[in-house]
C-alpha cells in the first residue's frame, strides 16, 4: 500500500510539472520544429560521398571528407574561426597536426594462384583484402609458396623463410614470429567472427590492420569465407604457390579535425559536444555518423539564425579520428572557449536493419545494468566487461536521451533499444574525464567492419530518425532551465520506479530459486543509490542559489529511497 501511495504521488508530480512548463519550450516543441526540417537528404548525400573512400587519418579519403564538411558548413553560414568577429555565432576551425607515423591508403591488390588466371581476391570487389599499413609488393607482384599453420607453435617445426604464412587467426599474433623472427615475406589470414554470418556472407572481409614498423615492412591479406575455402581446398591437394600483387601508399601527412560551434547566447561557457569519427572504410561505420551530424550542424544553424530555436549554451560538432580527436578536444582546454557539460557520440547511425540485422541502440552511461545484466538488459555481440560500483556514472542523461528517442520511435514506428555500457567509441574520452556522455549506434550488424558495408546497407529514414532525436536532445539540453529540470525530475522518478519494480520482481524470483537475499537486496540498493545520484545531477541545470529546487531534489531522492526500502523489506520477508 505504501508503494502504491508513492506511485500516486509520482503521477501527481508529473501532472503538476506539465502545467509549470507551458512558458518554456518543451521537448515536444523542438520535435514540432525539427521534424519538418530534418529530411535526412544531406545526411544520405554525405554518407554516399564519404563511403566511396577507404579512410584513415591523413589519407586522401579522410581529408576529402573534411573538405566536404567544410564546404557545407560555409554554405550554412559558419565562419572560419581565424576570420570570425566577436559577434559571429557560427564558427568553425580545422585543426592540423603533423602525424608521428605516416598515413596509408590502398591503391590496388590481387591474389591469384600462380601460373593460372584464377583470381582468388581482387580489391575492386573486396576493398578490405589488404591489411592497413601493408607495404607494396614489387611491381608486377610476387610469387611464393603458401604454408598453412594451425597454431603459432607450428612455426617451431616449419620453415617459412621466403614463404607466405596462412593461418586462421589475427595477423598481429603472427607478425613477430613469422615475419620478424622467421623471415616470412607476407601473411594471409582468415578470422571473421560468427556474428558476421560468414557462411552466408561468403564474400565479406572484415578489415584488419598491422602495426607500422619501418624496420620490418610487411604486407598482409585478409580472406573472405569463400576465398578461405578455395585456398584450403587447393592446399589439401598439395603444394600451393600464389601470386600477390599489392600497391599501397605510405607517406607523411597531417591529421585534420573539424570543430564547428554555435556559440551560446546566454551561457556560452557551457556546451554540448556531438562527435562523429571519419576514419574506417565503411558506409554505416562511420560515414553515417559523419553525414547525420553534418545535416544536424547545417539545420541547427538555420534554425538559430531564423530565431525558430534559441541556443542559450554552446552547441559543438566535432569530426575527426575516433577517440583520438575526441580525447584531445576534452584534454586541450586552452583551445576551447566552453566547458563541456555533455557529450553525445554518433557511430553507425544509419542502418537499414532489414538488411543488416540488429537495431538502433542507445549505449547508456555506466549504470548497474553493466554490473548485473539481467531481465530486459542485454549486451550487444560487441560485449562488455563487468563493471564495479566505483565505475558507475549516475546522471539524468541516460533516461533523458532514452525518453526522447522513445518518443521519436513511437512517432516514426521505429525500434529503439538500449545496451549497458561497453565502450570503444567517442563517448569514452568524455566519460574518462567525468563528463556525462553516451553513444548512439546500431548492432548487431552482419556487415560490421566488412567490405560489404556499403551504401546499399544505409537507410535515409534511419538517418532522419537518429538526426531528429539527437538534435531535439541537443537543443533541449543547451536551453535547459529550471522548468526543464522540474520536468526531467518527473522523468527520472518514473524511470527509477519502473527500474526498482523490475529489479524487485527479478530478485523475488531469484530468492525463490534459493539465491542469497543479501545479494539481491544489494542489487536493489545499488540501483536506488544510482537513481538518487542521478536526481542530484539535475542541479547542473539550475542556479546554485535555487534553494527551492534543491529541496525538490532532496524530496525526489527520499521518494526513491522509500520505494527501495519497502521493496527490500519485502525481499527480507520471503
Q: Which three-class secondary structure string do you get for 407-456?
A: HHHHHHCCCEEEECCCCCCCHHHHHHCCCCEEEEEEECCCCCCECCCCHH
What pLDDT is recorded for position 361?
98
Q: How confident is the model at residue 14 (pLDDT cuts 50, 70, 90)?
A: very low
Residues 488 and 486: their CA atoms lie apart, in Å, by 5
What pLDDT is recorded for position 294?
99
Q: At what angle do helices 482-512 and 2-20 cross, to 10 degrees?
A: 160
Q: How confident is the model at residue 23 (pLDDT cuts 50, 70, 90)?
A: very low
Q: At what angle do helices 482-512 and 547-572 cross, to 10 degrees?
A: 10
pLDDT over threshold 70, residue 17: no
State the alpha helices, DSSP H only, in 35-101.
41-50, 60-75
What's the maximum distance between 2 C-alpha atoms anywhere in the chain?
84
Q: What is the mean pLDDT of the chain?
A: 94
CA-nearest of 452, 457, 426 to 441 is 426
Residue with cell 536506488: 528
- 313-320 and 267-277 beta bridge pairing: parallel
What pLDDT is recorded for position 55?
98
Residue with cell 550542424: 297
What backbone phi and psi angles, to 5 degrees, belong to 380?
-75, 175
E strand or H helix at 331, and its extent? helix 324-331
DSSP 8-state secondary structure symbol assigned to residue 263: -
Q: Are 478 and 314 in contact (CB under 8 A)?
A: yes
Q: Are 187 and 174 in contact (CB under 8 A)?
A: yes
Omega within 30 of 0 (cis) for the link into 541: no
Residues 537 and 514: their CA atoms lie apart, in Å, by 37
Q: Are 319 and 290 in contact (CB under 8 A)?
A: yes
Residue with cell 558506409: 283
pLDDT over threshold 60, residue 169: yes
pLDDT over threshold 50, residue 536: yes
Degrees to nearest 5, angle at CA 248 with 62 and 94: 20
What pLDDT is recorded for position 545?
76
pLDDT over threshold 80, residue 56: yes
Residues 213 and 210: their CA atoms lie apart, in Å, by 9
Grid cell digits, residue 248: 599501397
Residues 32 and 255: their CA atoms lie apart, in Å, by 39
What pLDDT is recorded for position 24?
65
Residue with cell 538559430: 304
pLDDT over threshold 90, residue 25: no
Percentage of the chain exceeding pLDDT 90: 91
Q: Are 191 and 169 in contact (CB under 8 A)?
A: yes
pLDDT over threshold 50, residue 366: yes
What pLDDT is recorded for position 4?
52
Q: How confident is the model at residue 22 (pLDDT cuts 50, 70, 90)?
A: very low
Residue with cell 623472427: 181
What pLDDT is recorded for position 391?
97
pLDDT over threshold 50, residue 15: no
Degrees to nearest 5, angle at CA 308 with 302 and 310: 90
Give the mean model confidence (pLDDT) for residues 485-504. 97
Q: Are 307 and 399 in contact (CB under 8 A)?
A: no
Give the mean model confidence (pLDDT) for residues 42-51. 98
Q: How confident is the model at residue 10 (pLDDT cuts 50, 70, 90)?
A: low
Q: Are 524 and 507 in contact (CB under 8 A)?
A: yes
What pLDDT is recorded for position 71?
98
Residues 140 and 136: their CA atoms lie apart, in Å, by 10
pLDDT one-digit tens code per residue, 251-299: 999 999 999 999 999 999 999 999 999 999 999 999 999 999 999 999 9
What pLDDT is recorded for position 519?
97
CA-nearest of 240, 221, 219 to 230 is 240
CA-nearest of 99, 69, 446, 129 to 250 is 99
What pLDDT is recorded for position 31?
98
Residue with cell 549554451: 313
Give the mean model confidence (pLDDT) for residues 20-45. 86
Q: Is 75 exposed, middle or buried (0-12, 13-18, 19+ CB in 10 A)?
A: exposed
What pLDDT is recorded for position 95?
98
pLDDT one-digit tens code per residue, 398-450: 999 999 999 999 999 999 999 999 999 999 999 999 999 999 999 999 999 99
pLDDT one-digit tens code per residue, 74-128: 999 999 999 999 999 999 999 999 999 999 999 999 999 998 889 999 999 999 9
Q: Are 166 and 147 in contact (CB under 8 A)?
A: yes
Degrees to nearest 5, angle at CA 285 with 279 and 287: 70
What pLDDT is recorded for position 112?
97
Is pTM beyond 0.75? Reply is yes
What pLDDT is recorded for position 8?
46
Percentage of the chain exceeding pLDDT 70: 96
Residue with cell 563493471: 387
- 267-277 and 103-113 beta bridge pairing: unpaired
What pLDDT is recorded for position 53?
98
State the alpha helices, DSSP H only, in 238-310.
287-305
Grid cell digits, residue 27: 521537448
Q: Are 341 and 538 in contact (CB under 8 A)?
A: no
Q: How confident is the model at residue 170 (pLDDT cuts 50, 70, 90)?
A: confident
Direct distance between the N- and C-terminal alpha carbons of the chain, in angstroms, rounded to an integer: 18
pLDDT over threshold 50, residue 527: yes
CA-nearest of 91, 89, 92, 132 to 109 is 132
Amino acid at each position: 500500500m505504501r508503494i502504491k501511495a508513492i506511485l500516486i504521488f509520482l503521477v501527481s508530480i508529473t501532472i503538476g510539472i506539465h502545467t509549470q512548463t507551458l512558458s518554456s519550450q518543451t521537448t515536444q516543441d523542438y520535435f514540432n520544429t525539427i521534424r519538418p526540417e530534418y529530411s535526412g537528404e544531406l545526411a544520405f548525400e554525405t554518407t554516399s560521398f564519404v563511403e566511396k573512400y577507404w579512410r584513415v587519418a591523413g589519407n586522401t579519403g579522410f581529408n576529402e571528407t573534411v573538405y566536404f564538411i567544410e564546404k557545407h558548413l560555409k554554405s550554412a553560414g559558419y565562419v572560419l574561426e581565424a576570420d570570425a568577429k566577436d559577434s559571429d555565432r557560427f564558427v568553425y576551425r580545422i585543426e592540423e597536426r603533423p602525424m608521428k607515423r605516416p598515413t596509408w591508403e590502398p591503391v590496388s591488390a590481387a591474389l591469384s594462384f600462380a601460373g593460372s588466371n584464377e583470381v582468388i581476391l581482387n580489391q575492386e570487389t573486396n576493398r578490405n583484402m589488404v591489411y592497413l599499413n601493408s607495404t607494396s609488393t614489387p611491381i608486377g607482384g610476387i610469387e611464393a609458396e603458401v604454408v598453412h599453420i594451425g597454431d603459432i607453435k607450428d612455426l617451431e617445426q616449419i620453415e617459412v623463410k621466403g614463404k607466405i604464412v596462412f593461418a586462421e587467426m589475427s595477423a598481429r599474433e603472427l607478425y613477430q614470429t613469422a615475419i620478424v623472427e622467421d623471415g616470412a615475406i607476407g601473411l594471409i589470414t582468415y578470422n571473421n567472427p560468427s556474428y558476421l554470418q560468414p557462411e552466408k556472407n561468403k564474400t565479406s572481409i572484415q578489415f584488419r590492420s598491422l602495426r607500422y614498423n619501418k624496420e620490418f615492412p610487411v604486407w598482409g591479406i585478409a580472406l573472405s569465407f569463400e576465398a578461405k575455402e578455395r585456398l584450403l581446398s587447393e592446399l589439401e591437394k598439395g603444394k600451393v604457390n600464389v601470386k600477390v600483387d599489392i600497391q599501397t601508399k605510405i607517406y607523411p601527412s597531417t591529421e585534420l579535425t573539424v570543430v564547428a560551434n554555435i556559440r551560446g547566447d546566454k551561457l556560452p561557457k557551457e556546451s554540448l559536444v556531438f562527435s562523429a569519427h571519419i576514419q574506417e572504410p565503411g558506409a554505416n561505420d562511420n560515414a553515417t555518423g559523419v553525414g547525420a551530424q553534418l545535416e544536424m550542424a547545417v539545420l541547427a544553424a538555420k534554425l538559430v539564425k531564423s530565431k525558430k530555436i534559441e541556443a542559450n549554451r554552446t552547441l559543438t560538432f566535432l569530426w575527426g579520428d575516433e577517440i583520438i580527436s575526441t580525447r584531445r578536444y576534452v584534454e586541450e582546454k586552452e583551445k576551447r572557449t566552453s566547458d563541456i557539460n555533455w557529450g553525445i557520440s554518433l557511430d553507425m547511425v544509419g542502418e537499414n536493419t532489414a538488411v543488416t540485422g540488429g537495431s538502433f541502440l542507445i549505449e547508456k552511461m555506466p549504470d548497474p545494468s553493466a554490473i548485473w545484466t539481467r531481465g530486459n538488459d542485454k549486451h550487444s555481440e560487441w560485449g562488455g566487461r563487468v563493471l564495479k560500483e566505483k565505475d558507475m556514472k549516475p546522471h539524468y542523461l541516460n533516461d533523458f536521451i532514452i525518453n526522447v528517442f522513445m518518443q521519436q520511435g513511437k512517432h516514426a514506428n521505429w525500434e529503439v533499444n538500449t545496451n549497458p555500457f561497453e565502450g570503444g567509441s567517442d563517448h569514452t574520452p568524455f566519460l574518462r574525464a567525468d563528463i556525462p556522455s553516451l553513444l548512439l549506434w546500431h548492432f548487431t550488424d552482419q556487415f560490421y567492419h566488412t567490405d560489404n558495408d556499403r551504401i546499399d546497407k544505409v537507410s535515409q529514414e534511419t538517418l532522419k530518425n537518429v538526426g531528429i532525436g539527437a538534435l531535439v536532445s541537443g537543443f533541449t539540453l543547451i536551453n535547459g532551465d529550471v522548468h526543464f529540470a522540474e520536468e526531467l525530475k518527473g522523468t527520472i522518478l518514473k524511470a527509477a520506479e519502473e527500474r526498482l519494480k523490475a529489479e524487485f520482481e527479478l530478485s523475488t524470483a531469484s530468492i525463490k530459486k534459493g539465491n542469497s537475499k543479501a545479494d539481491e537486496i544489494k542489487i536493489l540498493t545499488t540501483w536506488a543509490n544510482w537513481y538518487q545520484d542521478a536526481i542530484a545531477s539535475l542541479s547542473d541545470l539550475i542556479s546554485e542559489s535555487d534553494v527551492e529546487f534543491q529541496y525538490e531534489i532532496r524530496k525526489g531522492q527520499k521518494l526513491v529511497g522509500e520505494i527501495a526500502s519497502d521493496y527490500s523489506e519485502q525481499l527480507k520477508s520471503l
